[in-house]
Structures are given as C-alpha cells and as structure tokens.
Structure 1
Amino acid sequence: MPQDKFDLVIAANRLPVDRVREGNRSVWRRSPGGLVTAMESVMSGRDGAWIGWSGVPGKAPAPFEQDDMWLHPIALSADEITDYYEGFSNGSLWPLYHDVIVPPTFRRRWQAAYEKVNRRFAEVAAELAAENATVWIHDYQLQLMPRYLRELRPDVRIGWFNHIPFPPVELFMQLPARDTLLHGLLGADFLGFQRRTDAQNFLRACRQLLGDDDVEVRADLVQTADGQVCRAAAVPISIDSRGMARLAATPAVRARAREIREQLGNPEKLLLGVDRLDYTKGIRHRLKSLEEMYREGTLDGARTKFIQVATPSRERLQAYQHIKSEVEQTVGRINGEHSSFGAPAVTYLHRSFPREEMAALFVAADVMLVTPLRDGMNLVAKEYVAAHDDTGALVLSEFTGAANELKQAYLCNPHDIARTKRTITRALEAPAEERRRRMRALHRQVLRHDVQRWAERFLSNLAVAPRQP
C-alpha cells in the first residue's frame, strides 16, 4: 500500500511516462525529453512523488507506482490543454522567453486557465507533502504554483527550476501578467536558472517592475512585503553522463552504430542533428547552411551524409506546422539536388527513438550539430559528448546554456550562415589531435558535472535558502 505523504514532491507539467499500446494492452512507458532524462536518476532510490498531467484530456488516471516512483496524475480538460498549455504556456510564454523568435500572443482566457491549473497543482502538492517536506517545481508552465503552495503550506521548502531562458526585462515587461508571474515565483525559497544571465534577468525584472509593491532586491535575494525571502541563482542542469558513457560503450550500441553507417553507404563523414521540431532549435538555419555547402561543393552528397532527428512537438500549433513544412521542403530540395539513387544526402527522421538507438546515433556521428537560436541548456550536446571520450566533434550554438560550460566545442552563431558554414568545415577538417584534445576536455567536463551533482547543488541551495532577512 503506497504511503500518503512524501518528503520530496516533484511537480512538472507532465508525468515522466506516456500511455502507449503494446499489443492488446495499454502500458506506461518512460517519456523522452530532457526533464525526464535529468530527473530519472535524481528520483531513483528517493522517497518521493511526482505530480503532472498524464497527456490525455479528461479525468485523471488513479495514482500509481512506476519504476519506484509514486506518480500522481493531474486532470486537464480539453479546454485547459488549449488555453493553459497550448495557449498561455506555449503561445505567450515560450516565444517571449526565447527572444520573440516568433511573436507571442496574449489572451485573458489563456491567463485565467494558467492560474486555475497552477492552483490545482498546488493543491495536490499540498496534500502529498509531508510536514516540512521539500517540493521541487519545474519549468515555465508552473510559475504561479510557488505562491499558491506557500499560501496552503507555509511549512514546506519550495524550489523552482527554469529549464528555459528567462528573458531580459525589456521583453518580459510585454507580458500582461508580468506582476502576477513574478509574485508567483517569489513564493519559492529558491529559484534555479540555467545561466547567471537568466537569474540576473529575473532579479532585474523584480527590481524594475515590482518597485511599487514594497519588494526589495539585495544582491541575489528578493524580500517581499510579507517578509518572505527568495534567492535566485544559476544551477545549470546536466545529464546522467556516466550512464550514457556506459551505454555508448556496450557492444550492442557499437554494433548498431556501425550498422547505421553501413546503411548510409559508409560515408567518409557523418553529421548529426537531434532536436525537438521547434522554431527555437535552428533546424531551418542549419539546413540552409548545409544546403549551401552541398551546392558550393564544400560537402559532397556521396561522401558526407547528414541525419536530422526531429522529435514531434506541439504539432497542433500553427507555428510548429509551419516549421515542419519548411523543414520537409528543404530536406526534399537538398536530396533532389545532391543525392544519388537510393542514397540520400540527408536522412530526415520525424519521430522519437529509444535511448539505445540515440546512443548508437551519437557514436556513429563524426560531427554533432547543435545550433539552436536560443536554448536554456541543450542536454543533447552533453549526451553526445558523454558518448565520445576522444573522437567526434561538437558544433555548438553560442545561444545555448551549454556553451557556457562546453567551451572546447566549435562555437557558432547560427544566425550567421557564412560563419556557421566555416565552423562546420573547421570541425570536419580539424586535425585528429585537435579533435581528440577538444573532445577529451569536453568529456571530462560533462562527467564531472553530471545530473546528480546538479540535483545535489539545487537541493543544497534550497535547504539553506533564507526565509527571513
């Protein structure tokens, strides 16, 4: 019989599992994605519960145990999915927090749904949390939850971690609900961000936009009018790097990597991109760079192949339908102009893959292209590095949080197509010793700063966060 109260409660928009069909039965299977990958090892062996939406509209399934975690589904109606998730979270917040790559849309109905769902999450967390428990809230979909939970359970320690960038105040102030959101976050004891710049952006927003609310900002602390003290700092996320390194070294993964290259005709060089199909990931810019390189003859479609894995994402939204169409058209054009019969220059895979297959793709690739226009961290870059100890090369966008840590990567500005092309060429043509030196340094960095260290840093910061001045 499961227990009623937990000392650690994780709250995220989604549960770490998806409902899938296996033959004639429906089962829960681990979800893909950076948050689930990062938190899997954190929750392992802990006495904790995870609350989140199951992915299906309507009545929530009954709570259940999976992989030694107690999972408590949250109900979302079809209208709430439209307004809270697709609307406010991904139509208003997501583009605003990613440099307004596409314009955000603001609707009062969306904001009302966001408030309602955040309160529901807080109510469930308040029920599950033991006395003086720790509640760790994740990401931009739940920015009001800390304040609502604080009102219900002043005894618990509340932490919140932002997996995406936090925008400069000049962008954030466009948000009609800006004051409400800031006060929602200030219900937490500790706020963790991917980069120091993100934490500073939040503190500046509090200083500039909440000045009339008796909010005082001192260094990295914010004190509200009711005496609550909240600290904001950078705690960059990572991966289970040793787990990925072990998986990549297994005979099965190594054999599958060789098979992948054989299926592509054993190219001299294999390039790889792995992303959610999202306009922030720079897939169109990447394909434009490669298309020009094939056209100019810098790359030969017979000798240099590119695999693009694009995991489906939010495909009901118009902006995502548009990028899907553009990517498919560009891939078709490249292959039509630069492929031989039965041997495409670009292999485009619009689906998700199990962890073993991803590891094999990482091992097979000579160069990994991680070129988002804006990204909070980008764990794929770290996974590729973990899978290589002295081979491979990483081309990495300057606009990722990972660029602050992976300084031995070949850094690029994906907006600058000409320079991106030169960076890719440099990574392909670099002497073997240079590539080994860079990759060894990157590998050591990723192994040293793994997901367990990230979790320990976050939780230790939360444990000592001051509640009173």
Structure 2
Amino acid sequence: MGEKTARRPGGGGGYDFVVVANRLAVDRLTYQDGSTGWRRSPGGLVTALAPIMAESDGAWVGWHGAADETLEPFDHEGMHLVPVPLSALEVEEYYEGFSNGTLWPLYHDVIARPEFHRHWYEAYRRVNQRFAEATAATAAKGAVVWVQDYQLQLVPAMLREMRPDVRIGFFNHIPFPPSGLFSQLPWRQAVLRGLLGADLIGFQRESDARNFQRAVRSRLGLYIRSDQVYVVSEPSSDELGSSIAGHGEDPARGLGTRRTSAPEDGGHRISEARAFPISIDTERIVALSERPDIIARSQQIRRELGEPSTVLLGVDRLDYTKGIRHRMKALEELLAEKAVSPEDVCLVQVASPSREGVESYRLLREEIEATVGRINGEYDTMAHTAIRYLHHSYPVEEMVALYLAADVLLVTALRDGMNLVAKEYVAARRDGGGVLVLSEFTGAADQLKQALLVNPHDVDELKASILQAVHMDEEESRRRMRTLRRQVTSNNVQRWAQDFLNRLEELS
C-alpha cells in the first residue's frame, strides 16, 4: 500500500499536519482477479495537499467510502490514512440527510427546500464527534489540523475541547448563506460555535465571509473587528450535542447581546473569518492541453458532432444548483426563434451522476433527460443534433479534449461556491481561443471578470450572452481569454493551500 510514513521524533506518536475531510484521499480499486487496492483521488484538494503532507509528516482522516466496514489506519504514497467508519444508517442520515438534505439546499440560497429533522442532526453531531476523536488521536502535540467543508462544521469546537494545543483551520468549499436564510436552521448556534472552534475559517468569496460574520454577530452577539471574531466562551460537547442547541440565548455566555467593543478582560480567543478563493492544478491542465493525442481527440470530437460552426459545452454534476435547465431553456428558445440552428450550433452537456439515491436528484435527472428528448425530437436533423447529452463521469484527459473542442463554455449555476470547471476551461485554452459565459452567482465570477457574466435566472439575458459568444469576433475573444488566463495561471491550487496555511501560522 505504499511506504511507511516516518513520524516526527518527539511528536508524541502523532502527525504534525492532519487533514480532516468527509472522504479519504484515496479511492478503492477492484482488479480483474478480485483483489483490491487503492489509488490517490484525482481531486484538486488532494493534489494541493499531498506534497505538503509528504514534507510535513501528514495524515488524512476521512471515510473510505464503504458503509458498515471498519478499516485500520494504513499508509499510501507518503500519506497516513485514518479511515472513519460509517454505518449505512449514518450515511443516510448524516450525509444524504443533514449534509445534503438540510445544509446543501440551505447554503445554496434555498433553491430547493431544505428539510429539518432532529434525528438527522443527531447523526451529524455523532459522526462529527467520531471524526474529532479520530483526529485528536492522530495529531501530534502542536499539530496543524485543517478541517474541510460543510459535512464537518462541528469538528473544530469538538477538537479544541479535546486538544487545545493544536492549531485548527476550517475551509468551507460551498457558499455560506445570508444571515436571514441561515437563521432558519434550528441548530444555527451549534453550527456557528462549532466553526468558531477554528483559529482560521476560510470561505470562497468575501460575501460568504461577511455572511458568516453577520450570523455570528446577530446570533451570538460576538464582537468582530477586521475579520477577527472575539470568542468569549467555548462550547462544551454537551452544547454541541443538544438537539435543541441554538434555541436558548444566554447573555452570560455572550449569546443574544451584540457586543460593540472588544472584551477588556482578555478572556477571549481570536477566530479569523476571511476569503481564500480556491483554484485548480493549473500546470496539470496546461500540460494535458499540449499533448498531441488530446489535441487530436478534440478534433475528433468536432468531427463526431458533424463539424458545427460552434460547439457549446456544459460540464456539471447533475445538481439543481447548476442551472442546467436554464441553459436548455435558453437554447430551446433560440432554436425556436431560428437565431441558431443544429447545423451551426450544438450543445454538449456532460452531467455526471450525483447522489442518485436521493429522490430530488432522481427526479431532476428525469426532467433533464425529458427536456433533452423534447428539444432533440423537435430540432434534430439526420446529420446534426441540438444537444448531445452525456450522463457520465469522464477522466481528466477526455475533459481537456472537450475543453479544446468547445468554442463556448456555459456555466449557468444558480449558486456555486467557486466552479472550478470555469477555471479548467480557461487553463486549457492556451491557444487563446474560446469564450466563457459565467454566472455571476459563482465564486469564479469575482475573479474571472473578462468572462461574459450573466444572471441565469434572466433567460433573455442568457440568450443574448449565448448569441454574443457565438458571434464574438476572434480579436475580442482572444483579448478576453488572455486576461482570464493570466488570472488563472497565477493563482493555482497550491498557492491557495499555501496562502491559507501561512495565514494560520501567522495567527498562531
């Protein structure tokens, strides 16, 4: 499974850098002979953190992906991996339930209706406690612990109660909602107190950090100055564990009364909340875009599509936040108005499977597939199709070939923490071609301002942007892409990770 990771002498048998995430940094493989093994996950987070872990004696705590199975810690490619077991019921209630049935829709502006169930929260609290205990047992004295994402928002405070010696960072990969929406959550104070256990809390956008700060100020009454929250009391595990946590407001603990000045008695701890926009492994995408076989594959894709004048591309998880229905509505109206034709314009829609055990996602898939069938039935010709719909996940090599084949990338998310597909498309277009149509409700819109920014809820505006992209002259498209590429290539995922960890070090 890889060489044994050397532990730091005098580290108390623990690891100096610990990443805590819902999933481990590896995927299980089953070979033809029935044996199993592991391979490193291809995601950008693993790519960014694996070298740091190798240099600093690192461990990764997470679920290994199989329910009702307990594995011992093991080593793989320079990383010490600590599997946290989950039962099938916990996967249903903690992950599919509270994480993705309650938090995900609530944090994405209630595009879908969140569900609030006490037994879901209890499963969430119980699993977060298990992650915190595994982390406390793994970290060396004075270690740096970086907790990842919305599935583990209670872990920082739980870990701080067990291990006050460690430095704790937390990064929220999805949006953080406005205070008015967040206040709907029955366990709002428990979640805020859980996050405030971290020394540094990172968000994708400045607006997300501000939303969190407003929620802390209004729900907990804590003083905030220059992104720094003055935490005047720490929650106990009993507070985080109570199914009614967040309903009682105790002014003696700093709840329910807004502070207008910093505590004067020094009995506080600082927790900083600010934006650290995540990025991609730019060098890898650029290198793939230069490979002759991938360039040849991009040319083959265009031939297979019937050599349309313009290839539109959408790449998304099949999720109601991604605005897939909105872009198809816009294309359907453009076809009906004869502003475009299937001979000239083809939309390739990659919709990778997502949470197929959840009813709302199953219904979304049925709706999208019915829409594709209706549009193609109305507008296809014998030689050309209006929409080529692909409900698959593809390796990164095929995705880069699609990026090179596409004249226009449509990112029409209704709400998105960042949207790394937009950055991958820009990185792949070292030829200077391509146009990016980008929703203003993505984190990427804060940085990629030379894209055609759109409000995907406004179908007329979306139609106009698609036509502008289709008919944009080459000089303008190349000027925009040059600016976009400078931004993406100078801010890769390794720089994001280092910036966060450097700031965490400064705060300590």
Q: TM-score, normalised by structure 1?
A: 0.95
1:194 equivalent in structure 2: 204
Aligned to 1:299: 340
Q: CA 1:440–1:41 in structure 2 vs 1: closer, same or farther (change >3 Å)?
A: farther
Which amino acid in the other structure matches residue 441 of structure 2?
F
Matching residue's letter, 1:254: I
2:142 aligned counterpart, secondary structure: strand
What is aligned with 2:329?
A: 288
Q: Are positions 1:462 and 2:472 aligned together?
A: no
Deviations along 1:108-162, whole A, 9 cap, x unmatched? 0011111111111111111111111110011100100000110111111100001
Give the 3-state SS of the residue equivalent to 1:279 in structure 2. Answer: coil
Mapping 1:372-451, distance limit 5 Å: 372-389=413-430, 390-451=432-493
| Partner deviation per Cα, 1:239-283 (whole Å, 9 max, x = no partner) | 111221111111111111111111112221111111111100111
CA 1:209–1:56: 2 relative to 1, 3 Å? same
What is the identity, as a one-letter code, of the residue corresponding to 1:341?
Answer: M
**What is the SS of the residue equivalent to 1:427?**
helix
1:187–1:228: 8 Å Cα contact kept in structure 2?
no
Task: Kindly indicate whether the alpha-carbon contact (under 8 Å) linking 2:16 and 2:140 is maintained by their aligned counterparts in 1.
Answer: yes
- Name the residue aligned to 1:244: 285
How do 1:144-223 and structure 2 match up within 5 A? Answer: 144-211=154-221, 215-223=222-230
Query: Following the alignment from structure 1 to structure 2, what is the Cα–Cα distance between the partners of residues 65 and 308?
Result: 38
Q: What are the equivalent positions in structure 2 for 1:233-382 lying under 5 Å apart? A: 233-341=274-382, 343-382=384-423
Residue 452 of structure 1 corresponds to: 494
Instruction: Tell me if the contact between 2:321 and 2:414 (Cα under 8 Å) persists in the aligned partners.
Output: yes
2:32 maps to 1:23: yes
Instruction: Indicate if the aligned counterparts of 2:105 and 2:113 stay in contact, CA closer than 8 A.
Output: yes
The CA deviation string for residues 314-335 of structure 1, in whole angstroms up to 9 with x for no partner, is 1111211111111101111111
The one of 143, 148, 152 equivalent to 1:138 is: 148
**Structure 1, residues 273-297: CA drift from partner, whole Å, max 9, x if none?**
1111110011111111111112221
Distance 1:374 1:43, change over 3 A: farther
Task: Name 2:72's counterpart in structure 1.
Answer: 62
> 2:228 is matched by which residue type in structure 1?
L
CA–CA distance in 2 between the matches of 1:174 and 1:15? 31
**Structure number, greater radius of gyration:** 2
Q: 1:342 to 1:55 in 2, by over 3 A?
A: farther
2:17 is equivalent to residue 8 of structure 1: yes
- Alpha-carbon distance in 1 for matches of 2:373, 2:27: 32
Q: Does the alignment pair 1:228 with 2:277?
A: no
Question: 1:27 offset after TM fit, Å?
Answer: 3.2
Equivalent AA in structure 2 for residue 381 of structure 1 = A
Distance 1:458 1:262 in 2: 44
Q: Quote the RMSD (CA, aligned, Å).
A: 1.6
**Cα separation, partners in 2 of 1:422 and 1:260, compared to 1, 3 Å:** same
What is the DSSP-based 3-state SS (H/G/I as helix, E as strand, rest coil) of the residue aligned with 1:281? Answer: coil
Counterpart-to-counterpart distance in 2, 1:138 and 1:391: 35
Instruction: Give the AA of the match of 2:81.
Output: L
- Alpha-carbon distance in 2 for matches of 1:52, 1:245: 30
Q: In structure 2, what residue type is equivalent to 1:134?
A: V
Q: Does 1:52 align with 2:62?
A: yes
> Contact 2:17–2:53 (CA<8 Å) still a contact in 1?
no
Change (3 A) 1:67 1:346: farther
Asked if 2 retains the 8 angstrom alpha-carbon contact of 1:397 and 1:403, the reply is yes
Output the CA distance in 1 between the equivalents of 2:44 and 2:471: 31
Counterpart-to-counterpart distance in 2, 1:199 and 1:116: 27
Cα distance change, pair 177–295 in 1 and its aligned pair in 2 (3 A): same
SS of structure 1 residue aligned to 2:321: helix
Deviates more, 1:335-344 or 1:431-440: 335-344
CA gap 1:42/1:411 in 2 versus in 1, 3 angstroms: farther
- TM-superposition CA deviations, 1:41-85 (whole Å, max 9, x none): 655655311111111101233323333322221100011011111
Letter in 2 for 1:421: K
Measured after TM superposition, the shift of residue 26 of structure 1 is 2.8
CA distance change for structure 1 residues 225 and 420 in 2, over 3 Å: closer, same or farther? same
Q: C-alpha separation between the residues in 2 aligned to 1:42 and 1:350?
A: 35
Per-residue CA deviation, residues 320-373 of structure 1 (Å, 9 max, x unaligned), is 111111110111111111112364221111111111111111111111011100
Does the CA contact (< 8 Å) of 1:14 and 1:52 recur in 2? yes
SS across alignment from 1:61: coil
Contact 1:7 1:48 in 2 (8 A): yes
Any idea what the Cα deviations from partners look like across 1:23-45, whole Å, max 9, x if unmatched? 23333344455544554565565
Q: Which 10-residue stretch deviates more, 86-95 or 57-66?
A: 57-66
Aligned mates of 1:54, 1:460 — CA distance in 2:
29
The one-letter amino acid of 1:97's match is Y
Contact 1:101 1:280 in 2 (8 A): yes
Of 111, 114, 117, which residue of structure 1 is paired with 2:124? 114
Q: Is the 8 A contact 2:16 2:56 kept in 1?
A: no
